[in-house]
Amino acid sequence: MKQSTKAIVGVIALVLFLGGAAVVYNILSREVTPEIEMVESDGSDRRRAPDFTVIDTAGNQVNLSDLIANEQPIVVNFWASWCPPCKEEMPDFENVYQDLGDEVQFMMVSVVDGRRETIESATQFVAEGGFTFPVYFDTEQEGARAYGIQAIPTTIFIDSNGNIVHEILGKIDEETLRKGIDSL
């Protein structure tokens, strides 16, 4: 086989491979509405929520355990301002916060890496969106490590005793958020 024929066959094989990879990627990355599995339980099989420290918008350190001490359910959402699914779910979190913010604590944790996500970019995103829920900054990645966050957004539902009830990886909508809160 001539060198030019080999090159053409190689290019065709590469194009077919990349096209197949794109098709598989599109199929696997389609938006999936997460299902919350409701399990009747006395709480004995639930895992205690690991503590971590973040910084609030005033620059003060806040521990998750401080919020747990209030004996109210907590919704912890790990997000970043550059993340499209995170941006899409924020209005739903704001709606539920406005409706249930007196009954449930919201801990909206911006995963700050200093490059793609900074305190400034997160603060600007929140201000531009007009969001009023409490925002915290995980500048040391302590919360992300404590919960093994591999992708954002990730939402953790914690009951009033400080136990994890649900963890959802990926974007959630208002209905799913309310369903998760109702299970607490």
- In this structure, what CATH number is given to the domain that contains residue 80? 3.40.30.10
Is 14 in the same domain as 83?
A: no
> In a 10 Å sphere around its CB, with 0-12 CB exposed, 13-18 middle and 19+ buried, how is residue 173 labelled?
middle
Is 66 in the same domain as 105?
A: yes
CB burial string 45-61: b at 16+ within 10 A, e below: ebeebbebbbbeeeeee
Evaluate whether residue 89 is within a structural domain.
yes
Number of compact structural domains in the chain: 2
As a whole number, mean pLDDT of residues 145-167 equals 95
Q: What pLDDT shows up at residue 34?
A: 47
For 22, the domain range is 1-30
pLDDT of residue 56 exceeding 60 = yes
As a whole number, mean pLDDT of residues 50-70 equals 97
Evaluate whether residue 36 is within a structural domain.
no
Residue 52 confidence class, pLDDT cut points 50, 70, 90:
very high
pLDDT of residue 106 exceeding 50 = yes
Where would I find the H helices in the chain? 3-28, 64-68, 84-100, 119-129, 142-146, 174-182
pLDDT of residue 78 exceeding 90 = yes
Evaluate whether residue 66 is within a structural domain.
yes
Residue 36 confidence class, pLDDT cut points 50, 70, 90:
very low
Listed range (14-23, 24-33, 43-52) with the worst mean pLDDT: 24-33
Evaluate whether residue 124 is within a structural domain.
yes
Helix/strand/coil for 155: strand
Evaluate whether residue 128 is within a structural domain.
yes
pLDDT of residue 44 exceeding 60 = no
CA 20 to centroid of chain Cα atoms: 30
Q: What pLDDT shows up at residue 10?
A: 74
- pTM comes to 0.77
- Give tens-digit pLDDT for 132-155: 999 999 999 999 999 999 999 999
